[in-house]
Amino acid sequence: MQIRVRTLLSWVVALVLGAVLFIVPMPYVVESPGPTFDVGGSYRGKEMLSVSGVDPSNGGALHVDAAHEKGDGNGELRMVTVSEQGGPGRRLNLVQLINASLSETSQLTPYSTAYPDGVTMDQVDAAQSWMMKSSQSSADVAALEALGWTVPATTTIRGAAEGSDAAEKVRDGDVLLSITDEAGVVHPADSASMVFRLVKQTPAGSVLVLRVMRDGEQVELEVETIPDESHPQGSRLGIYLDVAPRFPLDVQVNLESVGGPSAGLVFSLAIIDKLTPGDLTGGHVIAATGTMSYDGEVGPIGGIVQKMHGAKRDGGEWFLAPALNCDEVVGNVPEGLSVVAVTTLGEAREAVEAIAAGQTGKLTSCESVAGAS
Q: Do 139 and 262 lie in a common domain?
A: yes
Q: Do 123 and 267 lie in a common domain?
A: yes
Q: Give CA angle at 342 (242, 292), nearest 5°.
A: 15
What's the CA gap between 349 and 233, in Å, rounded? 24
CATH of the domain at 319: 3.30.230
Q: Which of 198, 213, 245 is the last residue of a domain?
A: 245
**Within-domain flag for 179:** yes
Rg value, the chain, Cα:
24
Q: Do 217 and 342 lie in a common domain?
A: no
CATH of the domain at 226: 2.30.42.10
Domain that holds residue 191: 153-245
pTM here is: 0.88
Q: For residue 253, give the amino acid letter.
A: V
pLDDT for residue 292: 97
Q: Which phi and psi angles does 217 have, rounded to 5°?
A: -125, 150
Q: Do 278 and 222 lie in a common domain?
A: no
| Sign, Cα dihedral of 63, 64, 65, 70 | negative
Q: Which phi and psi angles does 101 have, rounded to 5°?
A: -70, -20
Q: Do 189 and 135 lie in a common domain?
A: no
Q: Which of 205, 225, 245 is the last residue of a domain?
A: 245
**Within-domain flag for 14:** no
**Within-domain flag for 279:** yes
Q: Which whole-number Å values give the CA distances from 348 to 109, 153, 191, 291, in the listed order?
A: 31, 25, 22, 12
pLDDT for residue 115: 86
What pairs with residue 239 in β-bridges?
160
**Within-domain flag for 362:** yes
What's the CA gap between 169 and 211, in Å, rounded? 12
Q: Do 108 and 185 lie in a common domain?
A: no
Q: Do 45 and 101 lie in a common domain?
A: yes
**Within-domain flag for 13:** no
Q: Do 254 and 241 lie in a common domain?
A: no
**Within-domain flag for 11:** no
Q: Do 76 and 141 lie in a common domain?
A: yes
> What is the number of domains present in the chain?
2
Q: Which of 245, 266, 291 is the last residue of a domain?
A: 245
Q: Do 202 and 257 lie in a common domain?
A: no
Q: Which residues 6+ apart lie within 8 Å of 349 measured at CB?
A: 146, 269, 272, 280
Q: Which segments of the chain have a pLDDT < 50?
A: 11, 13-15, 18-22, 69-72
| Nearest partner of 85 among 74, 93, 77, 76, judged by Cα | 93
**Within-domain flag for 276:** yes
* Alpha carbon 141 to its chain's center: 14
**Within-domain flag for 191:** yes
Q: Do 275 and 360 lie in a common domain?
A: yes
Q: Which whole-number Å values give the CA distances from 89 to 42, 108, 110, 115, in the listed order?
A: 31, 17, 16, 12
Q: Do 55 and 92 lie in a common domain?
A: yes
pLDDT for residue 20: 45
pLDDT for residue 14: 46
